[in-house]
């Protein structure tokens, strides 16, 4: 058995729609090591969200398989139970419940797992600290800014101590400055938790800033167009974005995208 945290093996997806079959994703093959950070870039509609949903087991692939720690993501029973505790999603919008406080929102996955109230409070307070929301534990989501709500949503995803974190453009709706800050935050969290991360983004700079490898997908059906290894030292800083090394990566990825098959 491979020691990879995540194996994406020849994964493809075709949707049956009223207008006929829509092939969204084709032949994706990637192995991801524990603690590795992968960013996925690609044009709108190329199949990124579909791929992420297959990685998380939310939808079944039409071809291929996804393995977490060697086990198929589609296997049921105890394996499915175990996987639930090891996997977390965060999305473009924060999806917090308005009638719960921030700490209640963050602890919700733990509550659903039957963790005791005292343990939940302790854990959600630690997470507030981790994502920079200390002092806002008892606030409601409506009292927070968009960036703070995204941080709360990230904290909720982290509440189960996921081995695998799946992020679908979590910072897409944020302004550039808040986004930079979230990227710094996310990098620090990843270093602390050693989670394996798959991040979908539309920003080349964000991908280069965060990732160990950047996967560039083709237009639909999404196939792997190129994989860039980013060997910039960590922790990465905002200033680093001005360096020739950083700029070279950005340029190389831009060139790849310009060379899409027609
Ligand atoms: N449940 C579904 N049924 C039918 N077609 C779908 C379904 N989900 C996605 N698709 C189609 O699959 C293709 C890929 O969609 P997907 O949402 O994965 O793209 P994306 O790369 O995430 O786009 P964006 O960057 O805009 O979020 C699109 O053509 C979309 O219409
Ligand atoms: Mg999408």
Is 181 part of a structural domain of the chain?
A: no
**Which residues are 72's β-sheet partners?**
67
Mean pLDDT of the chain: 92
Rounded to 5 degrees, what angle do the CA atoms 222, 213, 65 make? Answer: 50
Total domain count, the chain = 1
User: pLDDT exceeding 90 applies to what percent of the chain?
Assistant: 70
- Give the pLDDT mean for 99-126: 94
Closest to 230 measured CA to CA, from 4, 3, 41: 41
Is 34 part of a structural domain of the chain?
A: no
Q: Output the pLDDT for position 28.
A: 98
Q: How far is the CA of 260 from the centre of ligand 2 (A)?
A: 19
Q: Tokens standing for 14? A: 């075709």
Cα–Cα dist 223/24, whole Å: 9
Contact in structure between 250 and 204 (CB atoms under 8 Å): yes
Q: Is the pLDDT of residue 73 over 90?
A: no
Is 140 part of a structural domain of the chain?
A: yes
Q: Output the pLDDT for position 2.
A: 53
User: pLDDT exceeding 70 applies to what percent of the chain?
Assistant: 98
- Give the pLDDT mean for 43-52: 96
Q: Output the pLDDT for position 6.
A: 95
Q: Is the pLDDT of residue 1 over 60?
A: no
**136-188 confidence digits (pLDDT tens):** 999 999 999 988 998 999 899 989 889 999 999 988 878 888 889 889 989 98
Q: Tokens standing for 21? A: 């079959």
Q: Output the pLDDT for position 21.
A: 97
Q: Output the pLDDT for position 134.
A: 94
- Give the pLDDT mean for 34-59: 95
Is 170 part of a structural domain of the chain?
A: no
Q: How far is the CA of 11 from the centre of ligand 1 (A)?
A: 15
Cα–Cα dist 247/40, whole Å: 18
Is 109 part of a structural domain of the chain?
A: yes
Of 49, 59, 92, the one to substitute when testing ligand 1's pocket (max ligand atoms within 8 A of C-beta) is: 49
Look at phi and psi of residue 64 and say left if phi exceeds 0, alpha if psi is from -120 to 50, else beta. Answer: left
Is 153 part of a structural domain of the chain?
A: yes
- The minimum-distance atom of ligand 1 relative to the CA of 53 is 18
Ligand 1 near 228 CB (within 6 A):
no
Look at phi and psi of residue 190 and say left if phi exceeds 0, alpha if psi is from -120 to 50, else beta. Answer: alpha
* 201-236 core/surface letters (b: 16 or more CB in 10 A; e: else): bebbbbbbbbbbbbbbbbbbbbbbbbebebebeeeb
Cα–Cα dist 30/228, whole Å: 13
Q: Tokens standing for 38? A: 């992968």
| Cα atoms in the 13 Å half-sphere on the side-chain side of 140 | 5
Q: Output the pLDDT for position 152.
A: 93
Is 240 part of a structural domain of the chain?
A: no
Q: Output the pLDDT for position 247.
A: 97
Contact in structure between 48 and 199 (CB atoms under 8 Å): no
Residue 138's domain spans which residues? 87-161
The H or E element that residue 249 is part of is helix 244-258
Cα–Cα dist 96/211, whole Å: 27
pTM attached to this predicted model: 0.92
Is 137 part of a structural domain of the chain?
A: yes
Q: Output the pLDDT for position 254.
A: 95
Number of Cβ within a 10 Å radius of residue 165: 23
């Amino acid at each position: 058995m491979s020691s990879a945290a995540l194996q994406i093996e020849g994964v493809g997806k075709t949707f049956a729609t009223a207008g006929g079959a829509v092939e969204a994703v084709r032949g994706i093959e990637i192995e991801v090591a524990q603690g590795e950070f992968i960013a996925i870039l690609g044009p709108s509609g190329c199949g990124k969200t579909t791929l992420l949903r297959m990685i998380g087991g939310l939808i079944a692939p039409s071809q291929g398989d996804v393995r977490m720690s060697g086990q198929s993501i589609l296997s049921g029973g105890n394996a499915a139970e175990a996987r639930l505790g090891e996997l977390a999603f965060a999305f473009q919008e924060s999806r917090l419940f308005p009638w719960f406080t921030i700490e209640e929102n963050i602890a919700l996955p733990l509550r659903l797992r039957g963790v005791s109230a005292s343990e939940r409070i302790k854990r959600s307070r630690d997470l507030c600290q981790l994502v920079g929301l200390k002092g806002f534990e008892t606030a409601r989501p409506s009292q927070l800014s968009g960036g703070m709500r995204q941080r709360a949503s990230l904290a909720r995803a982290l509440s189960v101590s996921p081995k695998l974190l799946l992020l679908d453009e979590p910072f897409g709706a944020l302004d550039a400055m808040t986004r930079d800050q979230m990227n710094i935050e996310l990098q620090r969290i990843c270093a602390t938790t050693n989670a394996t991360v798959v991040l979908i983004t539309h920003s080349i700079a964000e991908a280069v800033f965060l990732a160990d490898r950047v996967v560039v997908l083709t237009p639909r059906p999404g196939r792997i167009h190129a994989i860039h290894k980013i060997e910039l030292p960590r922790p990465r800083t905002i200033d680093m974005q001005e360096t020739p090394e950083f700029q070279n990566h950005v340029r190389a990825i831009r060139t790849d995208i310009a060379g899409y098959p027609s």
